[in-house]
Each structure stands twice: as C-alpha cells, then as structure tokens.
Chain A
C-alpha cells in the first residue's frame, strides 16, 4: 500500500457523505429523516458512479433510486401510524459492544490480508472506459438476450405488483 500518495479528495468527500447518510438513515428517530438520509446516501453513490467515469449510470441511479424508490419508501413511512413509529424498542444493552467487536474483527482481517499480500495487493483490473455512444451498441449488440430477460423480469414484476395492489382493496 502506498501511503505517500494523498487520498483523492473526491473519494473522501463522497465516502463521508454516503456512509454518514447511511448511518443516519438507520439511526434517525424520525423515520422521515431516515428516508431523506437514505436519499442522500443514494446521491452519494451516484457521485461514486460519476467519479468512476460512468456518468450515465450515476444519472440513472438518481432518477430511479432517489426519484422513485425513495418516494415509495416515503409513502410506506407515511402509512405507519405515529404511535407505532414513536415507540422505541429497548435494546438489550450489548449493542455497542457487539458493534465494536465486529468492527474490530473486520479491521484486523483487512489489515492482515493487506500485510500478508505485501506489494501484490489483489486489485481488480481497471474497467474499460465505455463512452456513452457505445453504451447502446453494447447493450443491444452484445447483450440482446439479457435485455429480453430484463424485459420479462420487469413486466412480470409490474404485473405482479399491480395484481397485488388490486387484491388489497
């Protein structure tokens, strides 16, 4: 590991935002704040996509996740009645210690792998830089069958969801 190179500022900022927002999404007292933090976390992930030279994927992430999935989550939260949401379950007291224990195990294993591998740290090969004009030909030319399977999956999911929404009333 080369510790003399300063970390990329974009990466540090994005990581901080994403992780803090994700932690806040789990820990927030008001569920609505949790949903908003989840949205911010998704925007952080979209930022990661953009910084990795996949801006189209980043925009897709924002449009689909933050634009549609977070709306669904907000709807679900607004369905829950306030008395049920405000009740906090009393933890058994060992949660902080368990969290530290797991984090410590993870840190030790990552450090161990890095130390043992030495200079030959296994890194995945850099992805080929695909410009956006090539995205379409790759999608339809090289992967037509996954595209059709995707269509079947989407229509099946949508039909199922619509039928379920009908039965509930």
Chain B
C-alpha cells in the first residue's frame, strides 16, 4: 500500500516516542527522589557555587546569529534554484547570481569585521 510519506514519518515518530519514552520515565520510578542540599548542588569541582548561574551571557558572538538568520533564508532560496538548475535556460540563473553577489556585500563586511577584531 502506497502510504503518504508524511504519514509514514508520523508513524515512525510515534514508534520512536513509544519505544524510547520508557528509557527516561522508568528510571524516575526507581531513583531516590528526596532532595538533598549537598547532592543536588551544581557541580563546580568541589567548591561551593557562588552567584547566579545564569547571569553571564556570552554576547560577543551575537552578530554571528544575525548572519545565521539571513543566510538560513538565503540557503533555502538557493535550494529552490539548485533543483532546477540544469533544466532552466542560463539566462534564468542570472538573477540568482546577482542575488548572491548582492549578498556578498554584508558577508564581506561581516567577515572583515570578524577578521579584524579579536573577539567578534
């Protein structure tokens, strides 16, 4: 029977959840659950942890996230073009090359900043 592939993926997902779920839920039943102050302290190689654990955020790579968002979209558009590359006339690929060249500007700027500064 030729099932819809997405339906098969859903069935596969259900099989996965059903068969891997007990791996984590069952051990919760037979592990000790009384909270203990010393056992549950966050691990800091034996020292007492000080300060809020979630305070310091590494913000120096934030521009890379911005670039990732934009190039994520760009990559998906390029996939749409790449599928039909051999079946469209060459003049149709020209807008895509212009697309890439136009996006080379911020890429070049970002990489220039990345190579110049120490921590970007």
Q: Do chains A and B directly touch (beta carbons under 8 Å) in the complex?
A: yes
Interface residues of A (CB under 8 A from B): 50, 55-56, 59-60, 63-64, 67-69, 71-72, 75, 78-79, 82, 132-137, 139-141, 144, 147-148, 150-152, 154-155, 157-159, 161-162, 165-166
Q: Interface on chain B toward A: helix, strand, loop, or mixed SS?
A: helix
For B103, list chain A residues within 8 Å (CB). 151, 154-155, 158
Number of A-B contacts (CB under 8 A): 110
Interface residues of B (CB under 8 A from A): 6, 52, 54, 57, 62-63, 65-70, 72-74, 76-77, 80-85, 87-88, 92-96, 98-99, 102-103, 105-106, 109-110, 113
Beyond A139-B80, A147-B99, A162-B66, list 16 extra A-B contacts (CB 8 Å).
A60-B73, A78-B57, A82-B52, A82-B54, A137-B88, A137-B92, A144-B94, A148-B95, A150-B77, A150-B99, A151-B98, A151-B103, A154-B74, A155-B105, A159-B105, A159-B109
A64 vs B79: C-alpha distance when bound (angstroms)? 14
A78-B57, A158-B70 known; A136 vs B95 contact (CB < 8 Å): no
How far is the CB of B109 from the nearest CB of chain A, in Å?
Answer: 6
